Structure 1
Amino acid sequence: MSRILVRPASTPRNPNVIVAVLAFAGIVVSLMQTLVIPIVPELPKFLNAPASDTAWAVTATLLAAAVATPIAGRLGDMYGKRLLLLTSLGVLTAGSATVALSDSLTPMIIGRLLQGLSAGVIPLGLSIMRDELPADRVGTSTALMSASLGIGAALGLPIAAFVADHFDWHTLFWASTVLGAVALVAVTVLVPESRIRSGGRFDLIGGLGLASGLVSLLLAISKGGDWGWASGTTLGLFAVAVTVFVAWGLLEVRITQPLVDLRTTVRPQVLFANLSALAFGFSLFAVQLIVPQLLQLPKQTGYGLGEDLLTVGLVLAPQGLIVMFAAPLSAKISALRGPKITLMIGALIVAVGYALNIFLMSEIWQLILVSCVIGSGIGFAYGALPLLIMSAVPVSETAAANAFNTLLRSIGSSVASATSGVILAQMTTDFGGHALPSKDSFKVVMAIGCGAALVALLLASFLPRQRTGVTAGDDSTTPATVNAGHKP
């Protein structure tokens, strides 16, 4: 196990300020996921490039985020979480400015890659909270930080749609440049560097192996529908991913300072929390895919509502607010009953939301209701997951463990996108000579989303029961003792 280095205490900071700044940074990063959605159909015209190439503006961010998240978490544990947080926000700001200045495909993709590399902000922020906040504030604060992923994604769409409708598309990315710069300055001035570091040597081979495996897997998942699921390229990428991950796993269990401590990940609490995150990632994306399509399909289909993208954003926006309000309630339940119970409640609520969606999909108010129900379940779940992880891993591995959990959520969302895309493409109805997703195809995706939430509920039931929020894992240096003035 890595040695824990505890640096001398710095000037105490206001916990409320730290939480507000870190949550703001998390929301800014999560906004990047939805920022480009309103202009995707217009990118071929804006960039003078074919649609198959401009689609990489989305794919590049997905791949970069998947690679950056676990690596940033491990580097944060080793060299300082605030340092890596500032680096991530700096890269985000540079990427946003690059896109804002672009009028062609190459700088657009480079900028979107840089934006994706900032995805480690949320797990890094979670870990800073564990290190620096008083023990009685950790649960509520980490719940809010974790929920910022859903808050930003839900609020970003209506804002981006409004800006895209009324201003030049570059304005979206100038705005994200400003937000990134504000977050960068705020963290620099108001957030202290975590005093807990693991030290050690970075596992470069493990990092390259995980990156190549993730790129192969996610590229196959995200582009398989375009290339053909049975094509040589898609199957070859899946084969490469499996081979690389097997070799990577064998390497990680043999070295003393791995990128991801697989011995820790097989502990029941970590294992089932990670598997639940995978299932919840699927459920989160399903509603964000289904509701926009139902709203935008023509009314003449009999089930579409014929609304524009701004209306779509306004329908989904309350979900972000519900996620935010559910976070502190999630923390209270975790403090009283343990995060296992909170996670199970969240899974059950999400399952109920999707079950309602099967029957309530013909009016705008019904879709708002369903998205809010699902959002409340996501708020509960996302508040509980970091507590489960942090209470089961050594304090020296907090950022890496949170990053791996976040990565699995992203993989779950990618699988949901691919699965839903196949279903909607195969179950179609003819509308004026065009094949559109049928009403039954949406119900099937909703049923799968419900099933994924029930799988998460089942997985959560296997978690060990605990009544405390965050404990020391295998290390004696806990947030409470550090904040009390623990010296090395």
Structure 2
Amino acid sequence: MTQTTTDRQPGTAGAGMVPVLAFAGIVVAVMQTLLVPVIKDLPELLGTAPSNATWVMTSTLLAGAVATPIMGRLGDLYGKRRLLLASLAVMVVGSLICGFTSDLLVMIVGRALQGFAMGAIPLGIGLMRDGLPRERLGSAMALMSSSIGVGGGLALPVAALVAQHADWHALFFLAAGLGAVSIALTLLLVPESPMRAEGTFDVLGALGLSAGLVLLLLPITKGSDWGWGSATTLGLFGAALAVLLLWGLMELRVAAPLVDLRTTARREVLLTNLASIMVGVAFYAVSLVLPQLLQLPAATGYGLGQSMVVAGLCVAPLGLTMMFTAPVYARLSTRYGPKVTLIVGMLVIAVGYGAGLGLMSAAWQTVLVSVILGAGIGLAYSSLPALIIGAVPASETGAANGLNTLMRSIGTSVSSAVIGMVLANTAQDMGGTAVPTLHGFRVSFLIAMGAVLVGLVLALFLPARRAEKPRLRASSEEPASGQDLAAGPVRGGFRGRVVAAGGTPVARARVTLIDRGGRRAGTTLSGEDGSYTLAIPAGGPYVLAATAAGHAPLAASATHPGGALPVDLDLELPGETSGVPA
């Protein structure tokens, strides 16, 4: 799949781009935990049965899962900023719908529209990749990726404070206000990406994936209500398997699939996505356990008897620490690579859950556990988009990161279902009310630790970085040392000829230089004799892409050691039609 660009050069994004996109990510992540402080009161507030009230939470999850890969692909095709604004606008509409109703069905519709905005996360990551210079990209993507956890962690105390002192509908008006601010800031400070994927939107693929995800996530989220062995639960799992298999076969046959399964099957992408599920499980477990432990009455013998607001404040360091790990991740990743930072992050998560098994007797201990887990989850979450971006073509950044974000969402869904089942099955009766036990909390932490250890094993099998051999032909013309490749002295660059069969020169071929981050670093047209020159900002790995009418495109990697490097581009050699090396 090829990509096209406008004339804007990479690295020209405004200084406000990163905080604005991170704020957008935090805003949409807030939707996931917005109602957690009032979840136990929803049946009474909506005048319905508890089993029906859970759809208010489930609808947001399902909509987010469906929207994430679809919005990523639409952004690749039609503009990531444009689709980001659309996602935020849909969220604002959904928030206003919820703010003016107490009807269950209308509330479910509004909550689904709120969840639809989860597609903003991969869109923001894609905008950063396309618009930021290489030296800023690592920490920026880390902050954007962590915004899922940051938003969820920071929303708990704020939502608890609002719910405790105002009408619960105020939560939705607050969400609408945040969304409107995010839209305004995006319009003012975030430029549109020049990158476009070629092809059309795979409507059948989107419908098939949506149906498969709904069929999969419904029994995961509702299995404890319906019964894990019930005909409904098992039937939906079977239907999900059938639909997703058929969808996969169809995606392999279409020219422009919603998800390039061949790319997704690459070891680096596949293992990263599987590890993402495990990190999602680990992240959500602490969000489920610690607030309940903190709010249970001290009369239970293990509850900490804290108010809703204090409980939220004790868990808030989880999100804050994730935010502060972004610059730490950037330094570690620059030196050791995202694979190492993912492994370190998972080790820290495992340590955090191990410590949590014995640190449950005071509020300050839960804060300590939140800080440790936040650091580990922040490192792990920050590593995931870098691993994905390093393994897929630039034109598929949005869709690939959308799929990765979906994997995390599946992890949180699995965590919610499994931890919920454990806490329910280990609960004890106190005054006619089922109360989670300390044993149930510890089993939940052990499950989260087991999940992260599985993720650690997967991360260990990720391929190490290695130098790629350029599939280019060395030029016979050797420029003098330090010779200008364009019109004056430059630090270095590529120079050579674009040729076809038998060394025939190809005139007016477009030669594009793409850096390792997938951003365009320069472009030129070959002369009548096929010659071209391209200056580079610094030595390192690049991709030289050449296109010419009547010839198959070529994109091949070449590592520049500095100085002047002569390279011919032979359009008769096999190449790839992507913007990054395979």
Query: TM-score range, shorter-chain basis?
Result: over 0.9
Cα distance change, pair 243–482 in 1 and its aligned pair in 2 (3 A): closer
More relative contact order, 1 or 2 (CA 8 Å, 6+ apart)? 1
Q: How does 1:381-420 map to 2 (within 5 A)?
A: 381-420=380-419
Question: Do the aligned partners of 1:133 and 1:483 also contact (CA within 8 Å) in 2?
Answer: no
Equivalent residue for 1:257?
A: 256
Shift of 1:433: 4.3
Cα distance change, pair 340–11 in 1 and its aligned pair in 2 (3 A): closer
Question: Do the aligned partners of 1:38 and 1:160 also contact (CA within 8 Å) in 2?
Answer: yes
Question: Do the aligned partners of 2:18 and 2:128 also contact (CA within 8 Å) in 1?
Answer: yes
CA distance in 1, matches of 2:9, 2:514: 17
Q: Which amino acid aligns with 1:283?
A: A
Equivalent residue for 2:572?
A: none
Question: Do the aligned partners of 1:154 and 1:316 also contact (CA within 8 Å) in 2?
Answer: yes
The structure whose residues are more often strand, as a share, is 2
Equivalent residue for 2:144?
A: 145
Cα distance change, pair 152–332 in 1 and its aligned pair in 2 (3 A): same
Q: Secondary structure at the match of 2:435?
A: strand
CA distance in 2, matches of 1:430, 1:167: 32
CA distance in 1, matches of 2:21, 2:108: 27
Q: Does 1:229 align with 2:218?
A: no
Equivalent residue for 1:267?
A: 266
Equivalent residue for 2:514?
A: 477
CA distance in 2, matches of 1:167, 1:302: 32
Cα distance change, pair 167–459 in 1 and its aligned pair in 2 (3 A): same
Q: Secondary structure at the match of 2:149?
A: helix
Q: Secondary structure at the match of 1:16?
A: coil
Q: Deviations over 1:349-378 (max 9, x none)?
A: 000000001111111111111111010001
Cα distance change, pair 246–385 in 1 and its aligned pair in 2 (3 A): same
Equivalent residue for 1:281?
A: 280
Q: Does 1:80 align with 2:57?
A: no
Q: Secondary structure at the match of 1:454?
A: helix
- Which deviates more, 5-14 or 136-145? 5-14
Cα distance change, pair 113–356 in 1 and its aligned pair in 2 (3 A): same
Question: Do the aligned partners of 2:196 and 2:395 also contact (CA within 8 Å) in 1?
Answer: yes
Structure 1 unpaired stretches of 5+: 469-474
Equivalent residue for 1:215?
A: 214
CA distance in 2, matches of 1:253, 1:12: 35
Equivalent residue for 1:305?
A: 304
CA distance in 1, matches of 2:34, 2:523: 43
Cα distance change, pair 340–479 in 1 and its aligned pair in 2 (3 A): closer
Equivalent residue for 2:247?
A: 248
Question: Do the aligned partners of 1:132 and 1:479 also contact (CA within 8 Å) in 2?
Answer: no
Shift of 1:139: 0.5
Q: Does 1:429 align with 2:428?
A: yes
Question: Do the aligned partners of 1:336 and 1:467 also contact (CA within 8 Å) in 2?
Answer: no
Shift of 1:430: 3.6
Equivalent residue for 2:32?
A: 33
Question: Do the aligned partners of 1:331 and 1:384 also contact (CA within 8 Å) in 2?
Answer: no
Q: Does 1:314 align with 2:313?
A: yes
The structure whose residues are more often helix, as a share, is 1
Question: Do the aligned partners of 2:296 and 2:304 also contact (CA within 8 Å) in 1?
Answer: yes
Q: Secondary structure at the match of 1:477?
A: strand
Q: Does 1:92 align with 2:88?
A: no
> How many aligned residue pairs are there?
481
Q: Deviations over 1:101-120 (max 9, x none)?
A: 21322221111111011101
CA distance in 1, matches of 2:249, 2:13: 44
Q: Deviations over 1:226-269 (max 9, x none)?
A: 11111111111111111111111111112221111111111111
Q: How does 1:2-81 map to 2 (within 5 A)?
A: 2-9=1-8, 14-81=13-80
CA distance in 2, matches of 1:434, 1:157: 24
Q: Which amino acid aligns with 2:254?
A: I
Q: Deviations over 1:315-348 (max 9, x none)?
A: 1111111111111101110000000000000000
Cα distance change, pair 185–485 in 1 and its aligned pair in 2 (3 A): farther
Q: Secondary structure at the match of 1:9?
A: coil
Q: Secondary structure at the match of 1:359?
A: coil
Cα distance change, pair 409–11 in 1 and its aligned pair in 2 (3 A): closer
Shift of 1:400: 0.5
Q: Which amino acid aligns with 1:460?
A: A
Equivalent residue for 2:164?
A: 165
CA distance in 2, matches of 1:369, 1:29: 27
Question: Do the aligned partners of 1:133 and 1:479 also contact (CA within 8 Å) in 2?
Answer: no
Shift of 1:485: 4.6
Q: How does 1:284-363 map to 2 (within 5 A)?
A: 284-363=283-362
Equivalent residue for 1:471?
A: none
Q: Deviations over 1:66-123 (max 9, x none)?
A: 0000100111111111111011011011111111121322221111111011101011
Equivalent residue for 1:107?
A: 106
Q: Secondary structure at the match of 1:435?
A: strand
Q: Deviations over 1:120-169 (max 9, x none)?
A: 10110001100010111110100011111111100001000101111111
Equivalent residue for 2:128?
A: 129
CA distance in 2, matches of 1:35, 1:237: 28
CA distance in 1, matches of 2:274, 2:518: 31
Larger radius of gyration: 2
Question: Do the aligned partners of 2:10 and 2:132 also contact (CA within 8 Å) in 1?
Answer: no
RMSD: 1.8
Equivalent residue for 2:115?
A: 116
Question: Do the aligned partners of 1:196 and 1:396 also contact (CA within 8 Å) in 2?
Answer: yes
Shift of 1:31: 0.8
Question: Do the aligned partners of 1:134 and 1:479 also contact (CA within 8 Å) in 2?
Answer: no
Shift of 1:45: 3.1
Q: Which amino acid aligns with 1:364?
A: A
Structure 2 unpaired stretches of 5+: 468-511, 525-546, 548-582
Q: Which amino acid aligns with 1:310?
A: V
- Which deviates more, 305-314 or 374-383? 305-314
Cα distance change, pair 180–12 in 1 and its aligned pair in 2 (3 A): same
Query: What's the % identity of the aligned pairs?
Result: 51
Equivalent residue for 1:175?
A: 174
Question: Do the aligned partners of 1:338 and 1:467 also contact (CA within 8 Å) in 2?
Answer: no
